[in-house]
Every structure is written in C-alpha cells, then in structure tokens.
Structure 1
Amino acid sequence: MNIYFQNTYQRTFGTFPLTGAELRDSMAIAAEIGYRSFDTAQMYENEKETGDALAEISLKRDEMCVTTKVHPDNFSDDAFLPSVEESLKKLRLDYVDVLLLHWPPIGGDIAPSLKLLEQAHAKGLAKNIGVSNYTAQMMRDAVKIIETPIVSNQVEFHPLLNQDVLLAAASETGIPLSSYCSVARGEVFKHPIFAEIGQGYGKTAGQVVLRWILQKGVPINTMSTKRANIQANFDVMDFILSNVDMDRIDAMTQVGYRIVTEDLVPWAPDWD
C-alpha cells in the first residue's frame, strides 16, 4: 500500500448497515468533508449501492481507496474468484484497493482461503489484500502461508477492550491492525472520562476515542448519517493526546466490553 493510501486509510468511512438513499447521502457528505477511503463487504449486501454512490461522487479512481470483504460462504475454490468479480461489477470497479477475508473459516483452517485471496491479488482484482477478525495465532500462521503482504487485520478495537495481544502480534508479524466498532457502538459514551479528557483539547468524547485508537497505530473505520458526526469523526488529526491521557484511556480497556462474539456471528473465533 503506497503512502497516499496509507494516509487515506487512516480514516475510512464505513457503510454498514446503510442502504438506499441513506447510504448515498452519507457517502456524498463524507466525500465532501474529505473522506477518500470507503469500506463495504459482500455480507453488508450494499456493494451495488456503494458502487452507485461512488459513481455519483465522481472522484478520480486514483483518489479513492475502496475496501470490500469476501463472505465465508464464498471461500470455496469454485465460488471465491467469481464472488470477487461480482463484487467488482456491483462496485463498478476494475479492482478494489483492499480485499479482505471477512472472517476466519469455521473449522480453523485458514490456508485455503488465504491462498484464494492471493490468487485474487495475482489476477489484479485487488491492489492489496488483508484479513479481518483474525486471532494473534492466525496472524502468525498467515505470514507463513502466503508471500503476498497482508496489509490489514480489521478487528474490533476501542478503548473498552484490551487488544494488547493483537497489537503485539501486529508488531511481530508486520500485519497492521485496523479498527471497526471504533466507539463500541456508542458504549464509550456511557463513560464520562472521554468527555472529561476532551474538554482539555476542545474535542468531543468520540474524537478523543478515535484519536486514542490512531495513537495506538490503528486506522479507524467510522460510520454516521449525520453531517456533524461525519465531520467530527474526520477532524481527529489536529490534536495529540498526552501520555498521561493515553494512560488514563489505556486503563479503560480493563472494562472488557466485547461486541463481536460467537453469539452474534457464527464465524467469530476464540478470541485472544
């Protein structure tokens, strides 16, 4: 991933669970504000609408960083590449900038889907490849299975969940993390510490949370339908949290609030 996309990927506009006019309008606002990285997935069932919205936004192709993810149901030899080609058709693109495996396969054998992902890259269907919801051990195994660089492991990452094991694995393997559920689906706002810290910087609780994630070295993926929130989520590059405030927020990870479990998604692995 080149420097432009590394910088662009720091702030991604997520599309889940948006559809229809709500998706189109939100993406248009995001692009107007400055977002150039957009995230969708086969599982979201909004790739076509995302593609329509991208066409309406009329950005140059080399200005956009588009991510989609392959559904585990398509991890078979006969379904994988056709599913990616169908995603590209829906997105109106010749390639995606980042193609992720959305979940580890049930059963735990990650090798077949990783090799299919590498094939998609070799065929030019994706500029970069990555994974999502991989454990630390899966990350260590993945770099031994394929040679193509893995540019992201997109995982639940917010200050109410300790992900130090994954951060250590990222350092060890060279697979960067990226964040979804960055504000824990609103759970962070139940804790006054984030707003209190924000007062010292002239920032909101949400902006403090997002800045903490970025300072942990993890790109953020956020979604909103409201212009003010989309703008606020974007405006997180003009301040730096002090070491003291970073430590205060680090302590909040002991809350242990995890959203994505096997109860919610059958592909969720045994987390670290």
Structure 2
Amino acid sequence: MSIYFTKTFQRSFGTYPLRSDELTAALKTAVDIGYRSIDTAQMYQNESDVGEAIAALRMPREELLVTTKVHPDNFGEDKFLASVEQSLRDLKLDYADVLLVHWPPLDRDIRPSLKLLQKAKKDGLARHIGVSNYTARMMHDAASICDEPLVTNQVEFHPLLDQSILLDAAAKTGIPLSSYCSVARGEVFKHAIVGEIGAVYDKSPGQVVLRWILQQGVAINTMSTKSENLKANFDIMDFVLSSVDMARISKLCATNFRIVGIDKVPWAPDWD
C-alpha cells in the first residue's frame, strides 16, 4: 500500500445519505478543507450524484481516492462485474481506487464474491480491493482465499462497541480496519467522559472520539454537511491521546451499543 494511499485513506468523507445539490455542496466544502478520500456504495443509491459532484470539482483524478462497494444482490457471476461497470459509469470514472464487497453473502460463502472482486481488479476496474462487515473468521478466510491484498475491512467502529476481536484479526491477517458510524450517530456524546477528556486537549468530544479510533490504526469515515463539523472531523492530527485517556475511553466499549445488526440489514452476520 503506497504512502499516499495510507495518508489519504485515514480520513474519508462519507456520502451516505446525501444526494443532489446537498452532496455537491458538502463534497466541495470537504475537499476545500483537505479531504481527498470519498466513500460511496451501490447501496447508497447516490453514485450518480457523487459522480456529478466529483466532476464539478474539476480536480486531477490522481488527487482523489474514491471508494465504492458492491451490493450483495450483485454478487452473482452474471451481475458482479456488470454492476461495477455501471458504478463507474455513474461515478464518471475509469476505475475505483478502492472496491469493496459491502456485506457477506446471505449463504456466508464468501469465496465466489471474493474471486469476482479480484477479477474486477485484474480487469482494471479497481486499483485496490477490500471487504466490509466481515467477521474475524471471515477476515482469516478471506486472507487465505485472496491472492490480491485486501486493503480494508470497513466495519462499525466507535467507543461504545468492543471490536477488539476484529482488531486482533486485523493484526493477524494484515487487513486493516476502517470505520463507519464513527461517533455512533451521536450516541457517544451522551457519555461525559469524552467531553472531559476533550477539555484537557482543547478539542471537541467528536475530535477525541475520532482520534481514539485513529490511534488504534483504524481509518475513519465521517459525514457532515456543516463546514465547521467537516473541519473539526479533519483536524485531528495535531494531538495525541495519552495511554491513560485511551484506556478511559475504551472502558465505554462495555456499553455494547451496536447500530447495524440483523434487525436492520438482512446480510448482517453473527458478529464476533
């Protein structure tokens, strides 16, 4: 993985559930602030809007890192590559920088979709490939199945959910984690400790939470339409949480608050 890829991928602008002019305005603000990594998915039904927003930026293609994800309904051999080609048409791109399978298949047989994911890369449709919402066992299996390196497993990751098993799998398989729901959709702010720690570093509770994630080697996806929030989410590289404060925040993991489960998404696996 190149240094450029690593630095750019650390802080991504998430586009769900943005559409149309709202998405275009938010993305322009994000890029002006410094974001260069953009995250979307077939499931978000906004790839065309993202494509329009990217085109409006008039930026050199090599300065952007665009991630999209293949919907599980398109995992069949007759649909997978065609769906990726459609995604690229919608995004107005020749290739995706990162292409992920969005969820494990319902039958939990990950091999066919991973083989098609690798073919997409070999065919030039993607520069890098990875997975999303994989369990630790799936990460180990994927590492043994794939000849191509997997650059991430994008998962729900925030201080209210213990993901130590996935972190251990990341260390053992070499598949880094990246986060979504990074501030637990605001739930984390109900816990006073993040604000108390933020006051010590002169940082907001949100910045403290994102820094806690980043210091565990997990890349961050965040979304906002407000310039002040976009900037705050990006400006997290100028301080380091102490090991004591990291541990204090980590105690919140016992809350076991999960946002995305089988009750919301039929493809959700039995989580570790």
Structure 1 residues 132-169: Cα deviation after superposition (integer angstroms, max 9, x where no partner): 00000000000111110000000000000000000000
Q: Partners of 2:6 and 2:216 in 1: how far apart?
A: 15
Structure 1 residues 187-226: Cα deviation after superposition (integer angstroms, max 9, x where no partner): 0111111011000011000000000000011000000010
Q: Partners of 2:201 and 2:192 in 1: how far apart?
A: 15
1:91 aligns with 2:91: yes
Consecutive unaligned residues in structure 1, runs of 5 or more: none
1:251 aligns with 2:242: no
Consecutive unaligned residues in structure 2, runs of 5 or more: none
Give the CA deviation at 1:26.
0.3
Look up the match of 2:107: 107
Give the CA deviation at 1:27.
0.3
1:211 aligns with 2:232: no
One-letter amino acid matched to 1:193: I
Q: Partners of 2:84 and 2:182 in 1: how far apart?
A: 27
One-letter amino acid matched to 1:235: D
Name whichever of 55-64 and 81-90 sits farther off: 55-64
Q: Partners of 1:133 and 1:73 in 2: how far apart?
A: 15
RMSD, matched Cα: 0.5
Give the CA deviation at 1:129.
0.1
Report the TM-score, using the length of structure 2 for normalisation: 0.99
Q: Partners of 1:153 and 1:19 in 2: how far apart?
A: 25
* Secondary structure, counterpart of 1:175 in structure 2: coil
Give the CA deviation at 1:20.
1.2
* Secondary structure, counterpart of 1:200 in structure 2: helix
Q: Partners of 1:191 and 1:246 in 2: how far apart?
A: 15
Give the CA deviation at 1:243.
0.8
1:173 aligns with 2:180: no
One-letter amino acid matched to 1:153: N
Look up the match of 2:14: 14
* Secondary structure, counterpart of 2:201 in structure 1: coil
Q: Partners of 1:224 and 1:192 in 2: how far apart?
A: 22
One-letter amino acid matched to 1:256: N
Give the CA deviation at 1:101.
0.2
1:48 aligns with 2:48: yes
Q: Partners of 1:65 and 1:2 in 2: how far apart?
A: 12
* Secondary structure, counterpart of 2:240 in structure 1: coil
Look up the match of 1:196: 196
* Secondary structure, counterpart of 1:209 in structure 2: helix
Look up the match of 1:133: 133
Q: Partners of 2:211 and 2:40 in 1: how far apart?
A: 23
One-letter amino acid matched to 1:24: T
Q: Partners of 2:98 and 2:69 in 1: how far apart?
A: 8
Report the TM-score, using the length of structure 1 for normalisation: 0.99
Give the CA deviation at 1:114.
0.2
Structure 1 residues 97-118: Cα deviation after superposition (integer angstroms, max 9, x where no partner): 0000000000110000000000
Look up the match of 1:264: 264
* Secondary structure, counterpart of 1:98 in structure 2: strand
* Secondary structure, counterpart of 2:260 in structure 1: coil
Structure 1 residues 224-259: Cα deviation after superposition (integer angstroms, max 9, x where no partner): 010100000000001000111001011111110000
Q: Partners of 1:93 and 1:39 in 2: how far apart?
A: 14
Q: Partners of 2:205 and 2:254 in 1: how far apart?
A: 18
Q: Partners of 2:2 and 2:90 in 1: how far apart?
A: 25
Give the CA deviation at 1:58.
1.5
